[in-house]
Amino acid sequence: MSRGIIIFAQNNGYIDYAQQACACAGYARKSLSLFDEICLITNTETLEASEGLINSYFDKVIVTDVFQPDNIRLFKDTTRETEYASFKNMGRSDVYALSPYDETLVIDSDYFIMNNVLDQVWDSDNDVMINCKYRDVSERHKENIEYLDNFSIPMYWATVFYFKKSELAENLFTIINHIKHNYKYYYYLYNCSGSLYRNDFAFSMALHILNGSVAFDVPSLPIEYLNNSFDLDDIYRINSHGDIIMYCADAERITEHILSKFTNTDLHIMNKKAVGRFIDDFLSNGEKVNASHSHLEKIDE
């Protein structure tokens, strides 16, 4: 059984997702040991911009230049700066077809693995594992479960998920793709909030449909909670791999921050500009791939 970690990254002119994905891959390689390869799925433009760096952090690169429609999103860097930019997140639903591995762990390029708990996913009895429960590290969101809307179904976080090549996973991704292509319909059907195409929403709706459109339990990853640092938070300092001090936005006054230290715990850092400011620290604290191991695969458009 081959086991791979997959990260998606496509630059959008505002965020250097390739660099961020390299940092994320470096952290995954340093923390986990039971996988075979770490693979990047990207487009030609992103690859050409950072090919050297990408080859030093990824064992495999899959290039796919399928057109992605504009999905405009508001990026926040605490309360200091906000900017609208294109968000190229629609390739995620193709991961079943693109993954060359029997078992795949997909992680967002802003998910920093700092312990080895996710090594426990391999060889699972479950065909798909994804988390519903999360925690806001600043405690502004008090609930552990988010919903697509107040009157809709629970949201599963497509930030980190595991699947193995199986009938269930194949059908799940078929439905996700169908939802992606008919998003408006499902958006209204499930009473979604916000206007952005979100993989979290598409995955949640697909899981609901696949489970017979009734209340359901999807196996969660070995981690109990997804540790989310939202984009109003900032990074104070990176001490070492597995030791980060964050500025957590105060629940009462979001312009003010509370310091909190995170050691030996995974962190989903959504303030991408903050990650960019500390990219050298992230890259130097991660682990690179062995030289001459990386290779490229081009998928036809």
Partner 1 sequence: MADNTTEVSQEQEAQQRLEKALNFSNTMKTFNLNKNNLKVKTQNLLSFSTAGGSFSVDQSLISFMNFVVSSGKTEITLLDKNEIPIHIEDTSKFLDEVSSLYFEVVNDYYHDYQKLRSSRKIEKVLEI
The residue from 45, 48, 70, 123 that contacts partner 1 (CB under 8 A) is 123
49, burial (CB in 10 Å: exposed 0-12, middle 13-18, buried 19+) = middle
Q: Is residue 34 at the binding interface for partner 1, with CB under 8 A as the rule? A: no
Q: Is residue 5 at the binding interface for partner 1, with CB under 8 A as the rule? A: no
The residue from 77, 166, 239, 254 that contacts partner 1 (CB under 8 A) is 239
CA-nearest of 236, 262, 246 to 115 is 262
The residue from 49, 85, 98, 117 that contacts partner 1 (CB under 8 A) is 117
Q: Is residue 210 at the binding interface for partner 1, with CB under 8 A as the rule? A: no
Using CB under 8 A, count the residues that bind partner 1. 36
Nearer to partner 1 (CB atom), residue 237 or residue 277:
237
The residue from 71, 86, 166, 260 that contacts partner 1 (CB under 8 A) is 260
Alpha-helix residue ranges (DSSP H) falling in 68-166: 95-98
The residue from 81, 167, 217, 300 that contacts partner 1 (CB under 8 A) is 217
Nearer to partner 1 (CB atom), residue 174 or residue 220:
220
160, burial (CB in 10 Å: exposed 0-12, middle 13-18, buried 19+) = buried
Hey, what are 228's tokens? 């989310």
Measured CA angle at 72 (ends 254, 195), to 5 deg: 75
Q: In 92-109, which positions are buried (b, 16+ CB within 10 angstroms) versus exposed (e)?
A: bbbbbebbebebbbbbbb
Pairing state of beta strands 157-164 and 60-64? unpaired
Nearer to partner 1 (CB atom), residue 191 or residue 264:
264
- Which stretches of the chain bind partner 1, using CB under 8 A? 115, 117, 120-121, 123-126, 135, 137-139, 217, 219-225, 227, 236-237, 239, 245, 248, 250, 258-266
